Amino acid sequence: MSKSPRTNLIRAVRLLPEAVKVGLGPLPDETVELLSPVDPGRESAVRDEHAGLLDEVERLRESIRRVEQENRDLAARVALSEKELSDERRRLEADRQRMKADMEAEAESVRKAAEVEGAERGRSAGYEEGARKAREEIALEYEQKVSSLVALLESVHASLDQSAEELANLGMPRLIRLWERMLSRMLRREVELSDDTVQRVLRGILERLSDRDRILVYLNPADAERTSGRRDVFGDLLLGVKHLEFIPDVNVEEGSCIVETNLGIYDARWRTQLEQIHQEIDHLFVEGRKDDSEDV
């Protein structure tokens, strides 16, 4: 079961090696406006979108279940083919034993007939040679037929194994891309439905900071208004901080932030984290294709 995005909001935070000034300058205190009351119509629209997202997630899960069922069906067909191959081998072995017994009986009959006729005509040696050649020819013909049948059955089995593997390889990238889209939409809905998302993200970063002399936090203007007056929610995390400043920046999406210290910058924007996930997935696909080509 996947973990809730609420408990892993800053897992992909990236530390930039250089301190870079980002965003606009601080807004004068007199320009800060109080938040307007929440629009009930907007809340209803967000809930409807959230319900639509849940429906889409369920459809994606159903797609995943269908792919898994297809894999199970193919595995069942492969298992059935293996059983049929095993049954056919046993049948061929039984035929071989039966044919061997028939050839031995026939050879014995020929030998006895040759002995009788040889006793009568003095040609027993010729009949023995003829019987031996007959046995060799029959055995050779039988071995050739059995070998061709076994080779055919084994090639069919190998083809089924390859088809199963190809289906699995085709299905896996599709499932991963579905998961990636679901994650992106769930993170965006998380921001829309929760006003304290950025505060939880910022708390996670503050817990990891070692330099507390000067902290600049770049936020979306809407988040900056909500956060600047709520420093109490960070509690002991602000102990030892000499300078803390919340800076509105329209380039930072809601629910995200960029934290600048004397040691560097922590980029905790959703867009950055999703891009990192996308790049990692692409890298894995490229490496997988290289491995497949090397195996070939």
- Looking at the structure, tell me whether residues 128 and 269 fall in a common domain: no
The CA–CA distances, whole Å, from 195 to 26, 38, 190 equal 22, 11, 9
Nearest to 195 by CA among 220, 166, 162: 220
Q: Answer whether residue 53 is part of any domain.
A: yes
pTM here is 0.40
pLDDT per residue, tens digit, the chain (296 aa), is 444 444 444 454 555 555 445 555 454 444 434 344 556 666 676 677 777 777 777 787 787 788 778 777 777 776 776 777 677 778 767 877 787 787 778 777 767 776 666 666 655 566 667 777 777 777 666 566 556 655 655 665 565 556 556 545 656 666 676 676 777 677 666 666 667 788 888 888 888 888 888 999 999 998 888 888 788 788 888 888 889 899 999 998 888 899 999 989 988 888 887 787 777 777 776 776 666 666 55
- Looking at the structure, tell me whether residues 168 and 239 fall in a common domain: no
- Looking at the structure, tell me whether residues 43 and 186 fall in a common domain: yes
- Looking at the structure, tell me whether residues 108 and 72 fall in a common domain: yes
- Looking at the structure, tell me whether residues 60 and 19 fall in a common domain: no
- Looking at the structure, tell me whether residues 49 and 182 fall in a common domain: yes
Among residues 193, 221, 249, which one ends one of the domains?
193
- Looking at the structure, tell me whether residues 252 and 170 fall in a common domain: no
d(CA 215, CA 237): 12
In sequence order, the 6+-apart residues with CB closer than 8 A to the CB of 134 are 106, 107, 110
Nearest to 276 by CA among 187, 172, 190, 174: 187
Q: What DSSP line would sit under 42-65, residue for residue?
A: HHHHHHHHHHHHHHHHHHHHHHHH
- Looking at the structure, tell me whether residues 49 and 188 fall in a common domain: yes
- Provide the domain count of the chain: 2
User: Do the beta carbons of residue 107 and residue 135 sit within 8 Å?
Assistant: yes
- Looking at the structure, tell me whether residues 254 and 178 fall in a common domain: no
- Looking at the structure, tell me whether residues 32 and 43 fall in a common domain: no
Q: Answer whether residue 3 is part of any domain.
A: no
- Looking at the structure, tell me whether residues 205 and 295 fall in a common domain: yes
Among residues 193, 226, 246, which one ends one of the domains?
193
**Boundaries of domain holding 19:** 9-36+195-296
d(CA 60, CA 182): 9
Q: Answer whether residue 232 is part of any domain.
A: yes
